[in-house]
Amino acid sequence: MPDPINLNPDGPHSPERTKEIADLFAECVRFLNYASMSGSGGLTDPADVYHVLGALYTGTQRASQLFGQLATILDRQAAAGVLADNAGADPAHQVADATLHLGDAQQNVDALTNALQNAQQAISGLYVKGEPDA
């Protein structure tokens, strides 16, 4: 059995661990795609969907901070003059472009967060007829 994954935000942190967790994020989305397919048994009622929506918008709220921090890392490295481009181009151009796109990602993820919150709110009163807790 694999070791449990430590998701303590205080670390330990390393580039390898950070990339591993980013890969885990991608696989979590893949899992949710399969678990939410019709007939998969992964979600059975509106309360399940409500919970998933809440977890998703919590994650997207946090992603906005992540995108800003990624841009800051690149900006600081560019300002320190420690970056190079394998094609010989000025890395400041790539960093400026990435920073612009990460700003777009922040705005888009904020809109996504609002949409997920609104979807959750829209189904807040739904239940499956005949369930004992309904």
Question: 10-residue block means of pLDDT along the chain (134 residues)?
Answer: 81 93 96 96 96 98 97 98 95 97 97 98 95 65
The model's pTM is: 0.87
Q: How far is CA 71 from the centre of its chain?
A: 16
Q: From CA 24, how far away is CA 5, in angstroms rounded?
A: 10
Nearest Cα residue to 21 out of 6, 2, 32? 6
Termini Cα distance of the chain: 39
pLDDT at 20: 94
pLDDT at 5: 80
Residue with tokens 């990435």: 98
What sign results for the dihedral spanned by CA atoms 59, 65, 66, 71? positive
